[in-house]
């Protein structure tokens, strides 16, 4: 019986645990038994059995490090349950932000749907893996980045903090030691990422990330009363306004997704439809000029 044939015989719950096990090892480079027990609320004995089962299916994928007390990925790693494609990992990260995603995957009697998706930005697996590991373990990365503000690649020393999806592109939020400030880097424009170990000192607090803003959106005043009511229903507005908490660091992406810029009131109402109501309040966090 081949590995794939044996894989088909796995019970659904076991398959989910082994898939998470494999994905964790592949993307972070290691696995601690407690991760399985805490994630799936299973006993340590069951987690140990799952790891043993996985090793029986892929004996060359893991090795146990007694000094670190964890399983580490090997150079001979060959995926069994995952593809190892960057978009597979990013799709899972995006889905974890939606609490209903796991429930929807179990529903098979939904009507047919069609989703219009923009072309996916290509992300090098050799770039994504060290970024995920650096963000997870607080490591420094030396990256080669192609900015649209300069004609050539530039080297940057950064400490990744988190990944951000703006609806179209994935970004890496990181403290740039090169610039001495927090910056966002488009993942698809990072050509090389090399781990440089632990930083000598902790990075400063990301004030823009920690600051939460209330972004107030309302219907364009140029719409008719009936049109305004339709827009209010679309967004669930109350008294012509909906307020959304947004991190200051993510405010530009949020407004761009809603197609709100510095010309909201100047654009044709039927085209713009919604406007930013508290522009003056947010002026210190984004350039509206």
Least confidently predicted of 6-20, 38-52, 163-177, 213-227? 6-20
According to DSSP, the residues that pair with 183 across neighbouring strands are: 174
Rounded to whole angstroms, how far apart are CA atoms 143 and 190?
7
Together in a domain, 162 and 130: yes
Q: What is the pLDDT of residue 5?
A: 41
**Average of per-residue pLDDT across 12-20:** 88
CA torsion sign for 141, 142, 148, 150 is positive
**Average of per-residue pLDDT across 73-93:** 84
Please report whether residue 98 resides in a domain. Answer: no
Together in a domain, 8 and 71: yes
User: Could you read off the pLDDT of 230-287 as tens digits, one per residue?
Assistant: 999 999 999 999 999 999 999 999 999 999 988 888 899 999 999 999 998 998 887 6
Together in a domain, 222 and 194: no
Rounded to whole angstroms, how far apart are CA atoms 103 and 88?
19
Rounded to whole angstroms, how far apart are CA atoms 200 and 177?
11
Among candidates 132, 129, 154, which has minimal Cα distance to 143? 154
**Res. 98 pLDDT band, cuts 50 70 90:** low
Which is more confident, 167 or 77? 77
Please report whether residue 265 resides in a domain. Answer: yes
Together in a domain, 28 and 58: yes
Among candidates 196, 92, 96, which has minimal Cα distance to 137? 196
CATH of the domain at 130: 2.30.30
Please report whether residue 99 resides in a domain. Answer: no
Please report whether residue 24 resides in a domain. Answer: yes
Q: Which of 202, 227, 244 is the last residue of a domain?
A: 202
Q: What is the pLDDT of residue 35?
A: 86
Q: Please give the mean pLDDT across all residues of the chain.
A: 87
Q: What is the pLDDT of residue 233?
A: 96
Q: Quick check: 9 pLDDT over 80?
A: no
Listed in order, strand segments (DSSP E) in 220-273 are 242-247
Q: What is the pLDDT of residue 249?
A: 95
Together in a domain, 187 and 129: yes
Please report whether residue 87 resides in a domain. Answer: no
pTM above 0.85, yes or no: no
For the chain, give the percent of residues with pLDDT over 90: 60
CA angle 19, 130, 152 (to 5 degrees): 135
φ, ψ of residue 38 in degrees (nearest 5): -75, -35
Q: What is the pLDDT of residue 102?
A: 46
Contacting residues for 185 by C-beta, under 8 A, at least 6 apart: 143, 145, 156, 158, 171, 172, 174
For the chain, give the percent of residues with pLDDT over 70: 89
CATH of the domain at 244: 3.30.70
Q: Is 78 left (phi over 0), alpha (psi -120 to 50) or beta?
A: beta
**Average of per-residue pLDDT across 41-51:** 92
Together in a domain, 212 and 165: no
User: Could you read off the pLDDT of 110-154 as tens digits, one per residue?
Assistant: 577 677 777 878 888 899 999 999 999 999 999 999 998 888 999
Together in a domain, 130 and 198: yes
Q: What is the pLDDT of residue 264?
A: 86
Together in a domain, 252 and 193: no
Please report whether residue 272 resides in a domain. Answer: yes
Least confidently predicted of 31-45, 70-84, 105-119, 129-143? 105-119
Domain count for the chain = 3
List the domain range (segments joined by +) for residue 156: 125-202
Q: What is the pLDDT of residue 105?
A: 46
User: Could you read off the pLDDT of 159-197 as tens digits, one per residue?
Assistant: 999 999 988 889 999 999 999 999 999 999 999 999 999
CATH of the domain at 55: 1.10.10
Q: Which of 202, 217, 241 is the last residue of a domain?
A: 202
Please report whether residue 166 resides in a domain. Answer: yes
Please report whether residue 174 resides in a domain. Answer: yes
Q: What is the pLDDT of residue 138?
A: 93
Q: What is the pLDDT of residue 230?
A: 97
Q: What is the pLDDT of residue 205?
A: 96
Together in a domain, 223 and 245: yes
Rounded to whole angstroms, how far apart are CA atoms 127 and 143?
9
Together in a domain, 74 and 140: no
Is residue 237 a contact partner of residue 218, using CB atoms and an 8 Å limit? Answer: yes
Q: Which of 51, 82, 113 is the last residue of a domain?
A: 82
């Amino acid at each position: 019986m081949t590995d794939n044939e044996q894989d088909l015989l796995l019970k659904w719950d076991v398959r989910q645990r082994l898939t998470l096990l494999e994905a964790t090892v592949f993307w972070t480079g290691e696995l601690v038994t407690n991760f399985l027990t805490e994630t799936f609320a299973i006993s340590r004995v069951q987690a140990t059995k799952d790891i043993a089962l996985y090793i029986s299916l892929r004996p060359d994928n893991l090795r146990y490090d007694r000094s670190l007390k964890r399983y580490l990925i090997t150079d001979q790693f060959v995926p069994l349950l995952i593809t190892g494609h960057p978009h597979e990992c990013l799709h899972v990260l995006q889905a974890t932000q939606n609490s209903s995603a796991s429930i929807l995957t179990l529903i098979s009697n939904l009507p047919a749907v069609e989703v219009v998706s923009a072309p996916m930005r290509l992300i090098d697996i050799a770039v994504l893996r060290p970024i995920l590991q650096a963000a997870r373990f607080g490591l420094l990365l030396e990256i080669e980045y192609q900015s649209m503000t300069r004609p050539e690649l530039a080297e940057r020393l950064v400490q990744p903090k988190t990944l951000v999806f703006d609806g179209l592109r994935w970004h890496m939020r990181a403290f740039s030691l090169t610039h001495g400030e927090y910056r966002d880097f488009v993942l698809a424009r990072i050509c090389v990422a090399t781990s440089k170990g632990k930083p000598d000192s902790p990075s400063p607090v990301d004030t823009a990330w920690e600051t939460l803003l209330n972004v107030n959106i309302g219907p364009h005043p140029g719409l008719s009363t009936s049109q305004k009511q339709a827009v209010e229903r679309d967004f669930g507005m109350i008294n012509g306004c909906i307020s959304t908490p947004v991190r200051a660091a993510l405010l530009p992406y949020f407004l761009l997704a809603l197609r709100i810029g510095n010309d909201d009131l100047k654009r044709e109402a039927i085209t713009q439809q919604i406007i930013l109501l508290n522009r003056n309040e947010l002026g210190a966090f984004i350039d509206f000029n």
